[in-house]
Amino acid sequence: MKYTVVLEPQEEGGFTVQCVEIPGAISQGETREEALANIKEAIELVLEVQREELHRKSPTHHCEISQVEVC
């Protein structure tokens, strides 16, 4: 999957970066490349936590997990 991220240079150096589609995924890095690598990890961690929470609820609530594509 592809996600949109916003890289913002910081006055003191380095970059902050956040994912537009996943507000909880925020990171930083000393270089652009490091910031992009770190946001990938942050996105993966947020998605993993969300999946775990959903799976924890699924057996009792009979939830269906699905994906949709928006162009």
The answer on pLDDT for 8 being more than 90 is: yes
What percent of the chain lies above the pLDDT cut of 70?
87
What integer is the mean pLDDT of 63-70?
Answer: 71
Predicted TM-score (pTM) of the model is 0.77
pLDDT at residue 61, as a whole number: 62
The answer on pLDDT for 60 being more than 70 is: no
Q: Is 56 helix (H, G, I), strand (E, B) or coil?
A: helix
Give every strand in the sheet of 15-19, ordered side by side: 5-9, 15-19, 26-29
| Higher-scoring residue by pLDDT: 57, 45 | 45
Distances (CA, A) of 8 to 19, 22, 29, 37, 69: 12, 17, 10, 15, 28
